Amino acid sequence: MNKYEELMVRKNEIVLKSVGIDFDKYETGKLSFDYERLMKDVGYTLEEVSEIQKDVGVGSTPLLELRNITKLARKSSRTGKAARIFVKDESCNPSGSFKDRRASISVFDAMKRGYKGVGAATSGNYGAAVASQANIRGLKCIIVNECYDSKKIGQPEILEKGRKCEGFGAEVVRLTVGPELFYTYLKILEDTGYYNASLYSSYGVAGIETLGYEIAEQCMKKLGKEPDAVVITHAGGGNVTGTARGLIKAGAVKTKIIGASVDLSGLHMASDIDFNKKSFTTGHTGFGIPFMTNPDRSDVPRSAARPLRYLDRFVTTTQGEVFWMTEILAQLEGLERGPAGNTSLVAAFAIAQEYEDDAIIVVQETEYTGAGKHLIPQLNFAKENGIKVYVGDPKEQVPGKSIVIPSHPSIISVTDIDMEGLKNSYIKNAINKLTKNIVEQVDIEFLSLETKMAKEKIVEILKQHKVGGI
């Protein structure tokens, strides 16, 4: 047995010590687990989470109306109508993104339990959030990320985020893309005894619930109604899950939950060749779809991010459209925010044109920008890697080969992804994990909740896959 195999044998033991959660106690049927019990066992009420966050300057971010972008949407609309577009300005959090919400609860929990430090495996804004919160709480911090291809060439955005983590005093372990990330991170957790501030833990997702709650609360106070839709940039699923749960807790049960990702179809996220051919490191289909159809592929046995439980609609947009919107946001609204966070704003711009003028659509987040996160270095890097960048119709874009900046606002659009197809893929992935092709009644109930599908439909799909025990 080699070192990798030896470590993997100890995986569950390491995870248990580093997160402090005995995931085995939540297992129920053959493929199901008690998700609501997992979330309840976080041990902090929504009010307590809010107080923890307020204590470190997290949350209570402003809800801003994008009046000029709304006007542009109405001018571009075939009907001349479009919903009012608002944005929750999460860049006002300490490290500059909504990730402070999820990091604040994990780091608080680590401090409360007596851990000396925290760790996270991430190439994104979450690393900066964990490092920032660790500073506030007096804990050490290690961030592990994939930032290079095999030639040690790193993407501007990832390198920028790594520098920000170091600016907050974290130790950053930089890796080349590939399978060594999870092994390296597990080894660090075992060697240090640090707390695993996982993106996918119940603590992190509980921290995002305040975001959804605030949106509903602010809309009622400012507008006298709940939002008709909230558009959420979707990657690993925690953003969608936490925001939706917060909206539900606030009573906004009629608000449509819409996920949006950048279309990077055809590019493999673990490919050394494809690594620097993409200009988005998060909020894209390379994460969005795999984590939607197989959420437990994360660094904890059971992910608290379960997007299919909450999504009413899932759409994609293009890299060029997001870069265009980043410029529009700055020039029309005076807000310079990071490109990845504007994925949901592009979607909202197009979707708003499906609504009447009195409807309300909220873009759920913004993120900080600057240096390598700005669109100019990203586009220059794309050109250096042979990507053709030009102005035209975004529908012409081929991920990894071209980035097309829209020539006119009227051609901004979204592509709807078949939700039923995603749900079927989820069920198929769940079935593949069965040791025997048999399920129990509790599994049928679980799959129904996981996919928002009727139990009768679940039974029908299971029979198609020749699953027994029904």
Residue 124 has what pLDDT? 80
* 46 found inside a domain: no
Do residues 353 and 412 both lie within one domain?
Answer: yes
Do residues 246 and 293 both lie within one domain?
Answer: yes
Do residues 318 and 394 both lie within one domain?
Answer: yes
**Least confident span in 25-34, 172-181, 339-348:** 172-181
Residue 140 has what pLDDT? 98
Do residues 290 and 379 both lie within one domain?
Answer: yes
Cβ contacts of 3 within 8 Å, gap of 6 or more: none
* 225 found inside a domain: yes
pLDDT for residue 281 is more than 90: no
Residue 10: band (very low, low, confident or very high) from pLDDT cuts 50, 70, 90: confident
Question: Pick from 377, 393, 416: which residue ends a domain?
Answer: 416
Do residues 411 and 423 both lie within one domain?
Answer: no
Domain span holding position 391: 52-95+203-416
Q: What is the pLDDT of residues 150-199, one digit of tens each?
A: 999 998 999 999 999 999 999 999 999 887 888 899 999 999 999 999 99
pLDDT for residue 11 is more than 90: no
Do residues 368 and 290 both lie within one domain?
Answer: yes
Do residues 404 and 438 both lie within one domain?
Answer: no
Do residues 234 and 255 both lie within one domain?
Answer: yes
pLDDT for residue 277 is more than 90: yes
Do residues 445 and 412 both lie within one domain?
Answer: no
Q: What is the pLDDT of residues 374-415, one digit of tens each?
A: 999 999 999 999 999 999 999 999 999 999 999 999 999 999
pTM of the model: 0.96
CATH of the domain at 351: 3.40.50.1100
* 153 found inside a domain: no
* 245 found inside a domain: yes
Residue 6 has what pLDDT? 85
Residue 109 has what pLDDT? 96
Mean pLDDT of 411-434: 96
* 298 found inside a domain: yes
Residue 297 has what pLDDT? 87
* 108 found inside a domain: no
Average pLDDT, the chain: 95
pLDDT for residue 29 is more than 90: yes
* 350 found inside a domain: yes
Give me the number of domains the chain comprises: 2
pLDDT for residue 264 is more than 80: yes
pLDDT for residue 138 is more than 80: yes
Do residues 69 and 216 both lie within one domain?
Answer: yes
Do residues 261 and 382 both lie within one domain?
Answer: yes
Do residues 431 and 283 both lie within one domain?
Answer: no
* 390 found inside a domain: yes
pLDDT for residue 40 is more than 80: yes
